Amino acid sequence: MSRRSSRRYAPPVTVEAWAREYILTTSLAHKLAPPKVPESWGAAEAPSAPGRPPELRRAERADKPRGLGSPSSRARTLHRFFHHELQAAELMAWAVLAYPAAPREFKEGLVRIALDEVRHMNLYAAQIERLGHRVGDFPVRDWFWERVPLCREPASFVAVMGLGLESANLEHAADFAARFRQVGDEESARVQELIGLEEIAHVRFGVKWFEQLRGALEFHDWCAALPPPLSPMLMKGPVLARAARKRAGQPDAFLDELSAWQPRGS
C-alpha cells in the first residue's frame, strides 16, 4: 500500500523526522511530493544510505548517452539529471540530521534548497514523459551518496555541494541548454536554463556559510575542505560561468585560481 493511499500514515511532527522520512522512503510519489515540512524541531539520526523506490534500478556505472539527437537519448540524459536532483534533495535532508549542532538558520536553508531540488525533479520528470519515457526507464547510480557523507562538518558539506557540485551545474546547465536547443528541443533547453538560474541561490548559500564557518572563501581553504578523493576537477565545467558565479558571491581571485587549477602531474 502506498504512502498516499494508507489511512494509517501519520505525517512527521518535526523537521528532523520529515528529513529522515524523505531520505528513507521507497515511495517515488513521496520523493516527488513530500508532505509539508513541520514547524517544530527535534532530533533524529542521519541514515547512511537512502531508500530507493523500486522504479529506480541501480547500476554500477553511469549510463551516459553519446548524443542528444533522439528523444530517447535526451530522455536518458534528463533522467540522469533527475537522479542528481533526487540525491541533492536527500543529501540536503541528510545534512539537517548529520550536523545537529549547526545553526538553525543553516538547517532552515538546507530544507528550502531540498524543496527546490524536489521541484526540479518534477520539471525533469515532466520532460522525460514528454519525450515518451517515464522515471525508472533508465538505470541510476547513487554517486553523490558515495561521496558527500564523507563530509564531517558543515563547512565541508557546503564546499562539496554549494561551492562544488551546484557551482559546476551553472556551467553544465548552460552547456546542455545550448545542446538541447541545437537539436531543436526548446522545452528541455528552457528547463535547463531555469534550473541553472535557480542554482545561483544555492551557490550563494554555499558561499555565505563557507565564509561564516571558515572566515573567508579562499581557494586553498576550499580545496582543503573537500574530502578525498574529491578535487576541483569535478567542481567546474570546461568554461567557467563567471558571471553566474560572481552573482552567487564567488570572488574573482577564487575564480582565477579555479580556472587555472590542474591535477598534479598534468
What is the C-alpha to C-alpha distance for residues 188 and 39, in angstroms, rounded to an integer?
Answer: 35
Q: In terms of C-beta density within 10 A (0-12 exposed, 13-18 middle, 19 or more buried), how is residue 254 classed? A: buried
- Model pLDDT for residues 58-94, shown as the tens digit of each residue: 987 766 667 999 999 999 999 999 999 999 999 999 9
Contact criterion met (CB below 8 Å) for 209 and 154 = yes
What Å distances lie between residue 30 and 10, 21, 37, 52, 206, CA to CA? 13, 9, 13, 11, 27
* Inter-helix orientation angle 186-214/166-182, to 10°: 170
Contact criterion met (CB below 8 Å) for 78 and 188 = yes
Q: Alpha helix (H) ranges present in 99-185?
A: 104-130, 143-147, 154-160, 166-182
Task: Tell me: pLDDT of 143 over 80.
Answer: yes
Domain spans of the chain, in order of start: 15-38+62-259
Q: Is residue 122 classed as helix, strand or coil in its secondary structure?
A: helix
- Model pLDDT for residues 114-128, shown as the tens digit of each residue: 999 999 999 999 999
Task: Tell me: pLDDT of 31 over 50.
Answer: yes
Q: Percent of the chain scored above 90 by pLDDT?
A: 91
- Model pLDDT for residues 225-245, shown as the tens digit of each residue: 999 999 999 999 989 999 999
